[in-house]
């Protein structure tokens, strides 16, 4: 009869695995507010365009698909979408 | 004693001058009311996505866009996985909205959708122009399908 030894090898840390699985599953449950989602998305956009930000402190939606963003780094950016669907960003610092 | 008969009352007519004045006064009001009730027809040439380059075949589904995104060489594997996860999140939130279980309003979901497409567009606009053209043209079309309960359930159930 095969007996798994939970006290040795890989299974020695099984409580940690279970805790990790529970925490991961809990994180999958979406709790973020709309404001948090927009800030996170704007940070990804700024990062993708290769500019520093650190964290989006606040933003103003100033037109259709246009945002004025204030970053933790002190930078200010204006993100907009042009008529050809290109996303552009200009620094306001 | 002279009493006005019913015929006398009915036979009263507004003087012609008064009628003309009344029409002249009401005319601008009527014109203004009609003008304000019309939808905005004027097209702003600088509005976002108003000048998308034409494509032969339009993408009409976010899932098709996700599939085309998976096949492009313009985006790294890690970014593809991240964007795919974001697409699924937006679809999940929309599904919850249509099931009446969402904490977000339709306007908030539209903003989240627009930000998702902006994130995708950044990766395509310099590296895969063909797919970027598809994205630009499909931007509003896909949203119209996502916001509509019947069309959403038809495509995503």
Could you state, in order of their start, the residue ranges of all structural domains in chain B?
2-37, 62-155
pLDDT per residue, tens digit, chain B (157 aa), is: 455 555 555 555 666 666 666 666 677 666 666 555 544 444 565 666 677 888 877 777 888 888 999 999 999 999 999 999 999 999 999 999 999 999 999 999 999 999 999 999 999 999 999 999 999 999 998 999 999 999 999 887 7
Q: What backbone phi and psi angles, to 5 degrees, belong to B103?
A: -90, -5
Residues of B with Cβ-Cβ distance to A80 under 8 angstroms:
48
Q: What backbone phi and psi angles, to 5 degrees, belong to A55?
A: -155, 145
- B70: part of which helix (H) or strand (E)? helix B62-71
* Reported ipTM exceeds the 0.90 cut: no
Interface of B with A in 44-83 (CB under 8 A): 45-53
Output the pLDDT for position B41. Answer: 43
What strand order describes the sheet that includes A87-91? A56-63, A66-71, A76-81, A87-91
Write out residues in chain A with pLDDT < 70, as ranges. Answer: 1-30
B134 DSSP 8-state letter: H
CA closest to A28 among chain B residues:
B89
- Alpha carbons B134 and B32: distance in angstroms, whole number: 41
Inter-residue contact B97 to B149 (CB < 8 Å): no
Residues 6+ apart with CB under 8 A from B41: none
Residues of B with Cβ-Cβ distance to A84 under 8 angstroms:
49, 51-53, 136
- Alpha carbons B34 and B27: distance in angstroms, whole number: 11
Output the pLDDT for position B61. Answer: 83
CB pairs under 8 A between A and B: 72
Burial class of residue B68, CB neighbours in 10 A (0-12, 13-18, 19+): middle
Q: How far is CA B71 from the centre of its chain?
A: 29
CA closest to A32 among chain B residues:
B103
Instruction: Give the distance from residue B30's alpha carbon to the nearest chain A alpha carbon, in angstroms.
Output: 32
Q: How far is CA B102 from the centre of its chain?
A: 21
CA closest to A64 among chain B residues:
B48
| Helix, strand, coil percentages, rounded to 5, for chain A | 40, 25, 35
């Amino acid at each position: 009869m095969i007996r798994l030894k939970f006290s040795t090898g890989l299974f020695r840390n099984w409580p940690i695995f279970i805790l990790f699985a529970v925490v991961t599953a809990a994180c999958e449950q979406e709790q973020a507010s709309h404001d948090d989602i927009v800030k996170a998305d704007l940070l990804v956009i700024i990062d993708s365009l290769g500019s520093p930000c650190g964290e989006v402190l606040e933003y103003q939606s100033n037109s259709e698909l246009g945002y004025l963003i204030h970053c933790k780094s002190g930078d200010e950016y204006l993100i907009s979408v042009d008529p050809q669907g290109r996303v552009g960003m200009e620094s306001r610092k | 004693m002279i009493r006005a008969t019913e015929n006398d009352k009915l036979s009263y007519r507004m003087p012609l001058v008064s009628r003309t004045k009344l029409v002249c006064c009401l005319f601008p009001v009527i014109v203004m009311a009609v003008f304000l009730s019309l939808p905005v027809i004027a097209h702003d040439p600088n509005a976002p996505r108003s000048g998308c380059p034409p494509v032969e075949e339009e993408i009409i589904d976010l899932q098709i866009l996700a599939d085309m995104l998976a096949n492009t060489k313009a985006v790294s594997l890690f970014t593809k996985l991240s964007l795919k996860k974001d697409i699924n999140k937006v679809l999940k939130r929309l599904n919850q909205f249509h099931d009446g279980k969402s904490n977000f309003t339709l306007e908030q979901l539209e903003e989240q959708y627009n930000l998702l497409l902006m994130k995708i567009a950044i990766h395509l606009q310099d590296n895969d122009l063909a797919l970027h053209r598809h994205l630009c043209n499909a931007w509003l079309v896909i949203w119209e399908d996502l916001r509509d309960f019947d069309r959403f359930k038809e495509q995503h159930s």
